[in-house]
Amino acid sequence: MKEHLETLYTKRTQKDYSLSLKLQIVKEIESGEESTHSACRKYGIQARSTIVSWLRKYGNFDWENQTPSNMAKTPEQRIMELEAEVNVLKKQKKFLERQAYVADKKAIFFDMMINLAESEYKIDIRKNLPPEQSITSAEQKKKL
């Protein structure tokens, strides 16, 4: 059994890792999903220094002007980060509100088109609904 385990282990080099794997690991670490130690365990990488070299090579962090990772952020830095996050969320909210507005207008337009087609061609396009559902659809028509 021990001989079998020894034959499965092969020493890996950086050349054994694909570029896509390296970029994925760098992305996970920079986004805060993983630490360098947990990424070593997760992906079976022998040394933390391997990942650090990938971070220096492929990452977005400015290694020339780095600050020690154990330093706490100042309140001003934290405020700036939160303000940036608020701005991003405001933009997302505005975009989603616009999409909801357009979707509502499309629904109204399609409803008008169906009504027009039903009156022009004297055919029923909508499904026949049970009585309890037709009451709610009648109320919706009154709102339009």
- pLDDT tens, position by position, 95-137: 999 999 999 999 999 999 999 998 999 888 887 766 665 555 5
The answer to whether residues 41 and 35 touch, using CB atoms and an 8 Å cutoff, is no
What integer pLDDT is reported at residue 109 of this predicted model?
Answer: 94
C-alpha count within 13 angstroms, C-beta hemisphere, residue 65: 2
Confidence class for position 44, pLDDT limits 50, 70, 90: confident
Q: How far apart are CA 61 and CA 77, in angstroms?
A: 16
Q: Is the dihedral of CA 61, 66, 70, 75 positive or negative?
A: negative
The answer to whether residues 11 and 50 touch, using CB atoms and an 8 Å cutoff, is no
- Of 53 and 9, more confident: 53
- What is residue 17's three-state secondary structure? coil
- What is residue 122's three-state secondary structure? coil
Indicate the length of the chain as a whole number: 144
- The yes-or-no verdict on residue 10 having pLDDT over 80 is no
Q: How far apart are CA 46 and CA 50, in angstroms?
A: 8
Q: How far apart are CA 82 and CA 44, in angstroms?
A: 35
Tell me the one-letter amino acid at 63.
Answer: W
Mean pLDDT for the chain overall: 79
**Residue located via tokens 């207008």:** 105
The answer to whether residues 51 and 27 touch, using CB atoms and an 8 Å cutoff, is no
Closest CA to 50 of 37, 34, 60, 31: 37
